[in-house]
């Protein structure tokens, strides 16, 4: 269309580019956003959900109680244990994000991951979503490891995707603060408010369970994942609408720097003993 403004190098993802084109058309009125359920609309999110479900099924098929796995079983399938991590099994910081303590634990985390993923993947891209899940999940488990080392607790078993879920919520809070996105301001505000409410409510619930010995929630992993997600979002905001190429370059630099920081943090924790 000849009346369309010059297009930038490319927006974050095609859905946002299409929104810009529609906004330039005469008589445009923003329509309520629709959440597409096609697997092609959020492949990174569905990949992560699929891996989590596959690991759970694998555990059950190998004799693990579907509702109440034992600590030994969780450890066997990759749960996070300070003593083992500090003796070289650092992979547990990641593998633990795909191991769940029963069906209810899995379903709760996958419901949150699915909803946040469908919202966040258009802003991050599929590989960006996977990277944020992994980095914030590791960050949460690293903070939990550090707290356990300070408390001289080397046998606590940690598992679940909740640290990564909080990390995705954290980065979304930052990314949705960018008013240059081709999304109506009122919709941005509504989405951001809903993510903040989700994170705040679940953090409060987690802290409230400290007084309940029958419920064991790793609040350190939640807080670590959430704060790291917030930090990851800060350098991405300025490049979100500067073109796809520049935005993806900023993502690579940010995620590489984040991985290097986590490695240094892990090295520091290892020397706390």
Which member of 95, 156, 220, 222 is catalytic? 222
Pairwise CA distance, residues 251 & 246, whole Å: 9
Tokens 């303590």 correspond to 101
Instruction: Mark whether 95 is an active-site residue.
Output: no
Which member of 162, 177, 179, 220 is catalytic? 162
Backbone φ, ψ for residue 79 (5° rounding):
-65, 165
Pairwise CA distance, residues 222 & 129, whole Å: 18
Between vectors from CA 153 to CA 151 and to CA 157, what angle results, nearest 5°?
130
Q: Which residues contact 96 (CB under 8 A, 6 or more apart)?
A: 78, 79, 80, 137, 141, 158, 159, 160
Pairwise CA distance, residues 58 & 56, whole Å: 5
Backbone φ, ψ for residue 158 (5° rounding):
-120, 140
Contact call for residues 256 and 133 (beta carbons, < 8 A) = no
Backbone φ, ψ for residue 218 (5° rounding):
-85, 85
Instruction: Mark whether 87 is an active-site residue.
Output: no
Q: How many residues does the chain have?
A: 273
Q: Which residues are catalytic?
A: 162, 222
């Amino acid at each position: 269309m000849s009346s369309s403004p010059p297009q930038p190098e490319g927006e974050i993802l095609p859905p946002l580019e299409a929104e810009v084109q529609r906004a330039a058309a005469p008589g445009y009125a923003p329509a309520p956003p629709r959440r597409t359920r096609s697997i092609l609309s959020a492949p990174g999110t569905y990949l992560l959900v699929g891996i989590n479900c596959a690991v759970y099924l694998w555990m059950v098929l190998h004799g693990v109680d579907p509702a109440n796995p034992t600590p030994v079983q969780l450890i066997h399938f990759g749960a996070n244990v300070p003593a083992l991590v500090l003796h070289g099994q650092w992979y547990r910081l990641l593998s633990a994000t795909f191991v769940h303590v029963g069906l209810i634990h899995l379903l709760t985390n996958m419901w949150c991951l699915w909803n946040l993923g469908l919202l966040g993947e258009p802003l991050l891209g599929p590989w960006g979503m996977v990277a944020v899940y992994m980095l914030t999940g590791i960050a949460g488990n690293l903070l939990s490891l550090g707290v356990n080392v300070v408390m001289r607790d080397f046998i606590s078993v940690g598992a679940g995707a909740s640290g990564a879920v909080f990390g995705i919520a954290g980065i979304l809070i930052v990314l949705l603060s960018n008013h240059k996105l081709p999304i109506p301001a009122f919709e941005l505000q509504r989405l951001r408010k809903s993510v903040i409410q989700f994170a705040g409510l679940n953090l409060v619930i987690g802290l409230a369970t400290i007084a309940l010995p029958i419920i064991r929630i790793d609040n350190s992993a939640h807080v670590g994942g959430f704060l790291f997600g917030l930090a990851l979002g800060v350098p991405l905001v300025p490049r979100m609408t500067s073109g796809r190429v520049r935005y993806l370059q900023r993502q690579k630099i940010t995620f590489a720097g984040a991985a290097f920081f986590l490695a240094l943090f892990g090295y520091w924790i290892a020397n706390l003993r």
